[in-house]
Homo-oligomer: A and B are copies of this chain.
Amino acid sequence: MIPESLSHGQYDTVYNFLSLVIASQLFTAVFLLISLPRILARYRQAITVAIIVCGIAAYHYFRIFDSFKAAFVTKSVGGTGTYSQAVGASFNEGYRYVDWLLTVPLLLVELVAVLALARKVQSKLLIRLVPAAGLMIALGYPGEISGDNGIRGIFGILSTIPFAYILFVLFTQLSKSLENQPAGVRGTLGRLRFLLLLSWGVYPIAYLLPLLNIAGSDAWVYKQVGYSIADIVAKAVYALIIFQVAKIKSYDDDRTFAETETSLAEREHLAERRPVAERS
Q: List residues of A whose CB falls within 8 A of some B CB.
A: 2, 4, 8, 12, 15-16, 19-20, 22-24, 26-27, 30-31, 33-36, 38, 40-42, 44-45, 48-49, 51-52, 55-56, 59-60, 63, 73-79, 84-92, 94-95, 97-99, 101-102, 116-121, 145, 180, 253, 260-263, 265-266, 268-270
Contact = CB atoms under 8 A, between A and B. Distances in A.
Given A33-B34, A34-B33, A87 B77 contact: yes
A98 to B, nearest CB: 5
A95 B16 contact: yes
Contacts of A30: 51-52, 55
A87 B98 CA distance: 30
**Copies of this chain assembled into the complex:** 2
Contact of A117 (B56, B145, B265): B265
Contact of A118 (B35, B98, B119, B265): B265
A20 B24 CA distance: 21
Contact of A90 (B4, B59, B74): B74
Contacts of A98: 16, 19-20, 23
A41 B247 CA distance: 13
Given A12-B145, A78-B90, 15 more contacts: A15-B92, A16-B97, A20-B102, A23-B59, A23-B98, A24-B102, A27-B52, A27-B55, A30-B52, A31-B52, A34-B36, A42-B263, A75-B87, A77-B87, A116-B262
A266 B30 CA distance: 28
A269 B118 contact: yes
A19 B261 contact: no
Contacts of A48: 31, 34-35
A12 B55 contact: no
A163 to B, nearest CB: 22
Contact of A119 (B20, B36, B89, B266): B266
Contact of A12 (B19, B74, B92): B92
Contacts of A145: 12
A266 B118 contact: yes
Contacts of A116: 262-263, 265-266
A87 to B, nearest CB: 6
